[in-house]
Amino acid sequence: MVEVTEPTVVIVGAGPTGLSAAAELRRLGVHGVVVVERDKEPGGIPRFTDHQGFGIQDLRRSMTGPRYATSLVRQATALGVDVRCAVTATKLADGSVELAGPAGIEVVRPRVTILATGARERPRSARLIPGDRGAGVMTTGQLQQRAMADRPLGRRAVIVGAEHVSYSAAMLLRHQGASVVAMVTEQPGHQSVAGADIVGRMWLKAPLMTATKVVEIIGRRRVEGVVLEEMSTKRRRRVDADTVVLSGDWIPDNELARRSGLEMDPMTRGPLVDASGRTSTSSILAGGNLVHPVETAGTCSLEGRLLARALAAGLADDPRSATGVRLHVRAPVAWAWPGRLDPTAVPPHVLFQLSTTTTARHAVMRQGTRVLGTTRLRHGRPGRSLRIPGTVAASVDPGGEDVTLEVES
C-alpha cells in the first residue's frame, strides 16, 4: 500500500540550492518543508570537493566543500527542515511527487515542489572523443568520488577543460600525488579567476594548453596517452598519460523536469524559468544549477533563498506559473538566465547570467527595436558566465514582443 502525505513544500535535491531554499522557507514561517536527496548524505556537490573556496558569496567566508555542506545541512535541520536521504524523486504528476526510498514507494502531495537537482558533466560518450576505450577516463565528479572512496587515481593526468572545476581537479590530483601533465582547452584562455593560469603553472605544475583539443585517447585496457591537436596549425603530438579527466561541459540534471512535462529552455537545457524560479507549471519551481549550469555554490545558495522568499510571499494565494516574455540570445551568447522576463519576478538586484563564446565588452537588451538597456561587461572571457544587473530589464513591457540579448566586443 502506497502512503500519501501532504507536506507544504517538497524540495528535490539537498545541494546548496535546495538546502538554502528550505532553510529560508522555515525562517519565513513556512511549515512542512521536506527535502529529498537520492544520495545517502545531504550536501550536493560540495560534499565531494575538499578544498577551500565555498561559502564566499552567501556565508561571507571561505570554507572547504565538506564543511560548507555540513553547515548548510545543520542550518536547515536546526530550523526544522525534514531532510530525507537515499530517497529519489522519480515522478511528478498532477501535483504529486513519487518518492522511491528504502521503505519503498511513497507519494506526497505538496502545495509546491522545488526542483534543485543540479547539473553534471557530460561523460566521454557524449563528447565524441575518438580512440580506445581503456580505463582511466573520468569526469571531475567521478574523480572526486574515487578519491572519497580511497580508490587509486592515476600517476599522470591530462585534464580536459580550464574552468574553476578543472583547477579543482588539478588540486585534487596533486594532493593525491599524481602529476598533471597538461590542462587542455579549446578556448583562447582559461575560464577561471584571474591568475588561475599562474597558480596552475607555478603551484599545481599543470601546464595550460589553449586553443588545443584532444583528438584521440590511446590505450586498450588502460589509458596510455592522448593525442593533442593545436587548432590553428593542426599540428599533433602525443602526451603520455594514464588518466584523462573531463571537466566542465555541463548538462542540467533535467530528467525529472523533462519527464514531468515542464517547458524546457533550449539555451540552458534546464526548465524555462523566470527570476523567481517559476516554471510553466504553477506548482513547480526550479533553481540552482538545474537552470544555469554552472554557477558557484554561494550563488546557488543565494538564489535558493531568493526563490523561497518569492514563494513564501505568494504561498497564501495560489502560486502561479511563469508568464513573462521570452528572452532570446544572439550568438556568440550561449545562454542567459532567466529565460522568461516578468517585471513582477525580477527585483532590481537580481542579475542575469550569460555565457559567451568570445570576449565580450558590452551587452545590449532589446524588445523589438527598443533598447531596454546596455551594460558594460567585466571579465568577458569566452566560456565564463557574466552578470548583468537586473535593472536593464526593468522597463520590459510584459505584454510586448520577445526580448533579445546580444553582446558586442
Ligand X SMILES: Cc1cc2nc3c(=O)[nH]c(=O)nc-3n(C[C@H](O)[C@H](O)[C@H](O)COP(=O)(O)OP(=O)(O)OC[C@H]3O[C@@H](n4cnc5c(N)ncnc54)[C@H](O)[C@@H]3O)c2cc1C
Note the residues at the interface with ligand X (CB under 6 A).
12-18, 36-39, 44-46, 49, 53-54, 88-89, 116-118, 140-141, 164-165, 168, 253, 256, 288-289, 294-298, 300
Q: Give the Cα separation of 177 and 155 in Å (integer).
A: 7
CA–CA gap between residue 140 and residue 214 (Å, rounded): 17
Strand order of the sheet with strand 179-184? 137-139, 243-246, 156-160, 179-184, 208-209
Query: In the complex, what is the shortest distance from the CB of residue 333 to ligand X, in angstroms, rounded to a whole number?
Result: 21
> Nearest approach, Cβ of 50 to ligand X (angstroms)?
10
Residue 260 or 356 having the CB closest to ligand X = 260
Q: Check: CB of residue 320 under 8 Å from CB of residue 342.
A: no
Beta-carbon count within 10 A of 405 CB: 23
Q: Which is nearer to ligand X, 191 or 367 (CB)?
A: 191
Question: Least distance to ligand X from the beta carbon of 56, Å?
Answer: 7
Please tell me the total number of residues recorded for the chain in this structure: 409
Q: How far is the CB of 64 from ligand X (least distance, A)?
A: 9
Q: Which is nearer to ligand X, 16 or 225 (CB)?
A: 16
Query: Minimum Å distance from CB 7 to ligand X?
Result: 15
**Distances 3 to 35, 106, 107 between C-alpha atoms, Å:** 17, 5, 6
Instruction: Please check whether residue 55 is in contact with residue 298, taking contact to mean a CB–CB distance below 8 angstroms.
Output: yes
Burial category of 215 from C-beta neighbours within 10 Å (exposed 0-12, middle 13-18, buried 19 and up): middle
CB burial of residue 400 (10 Å; 0-12, 13-18, 19+): exposed
Q: Which is nearer to ligand X, 89 or 392 (CB)?
A: 89
Q: Measured from the CB of residue 304, what is the shortest distance to ligand X in angstroms?
A: 7
* Residue placing its CB nearer to ligand X in the complex, 131 or 154: 154
> What number of other Cβ atoms are within 10 A of residue 394's Cβ?
13
Q: Which is nearer to ligand X, 304 or 390 (CB)?
A: 304
- What is the smallest separation between the CB atom of 139 and ligand X, expressed in angstroms? 9
Integer CA distances (angstroms), 280 to 35, 74, 283, in order: 22, 33, 9
Q: Which is nearer to ligand X, 98 or 263 (CB)?
A: 98
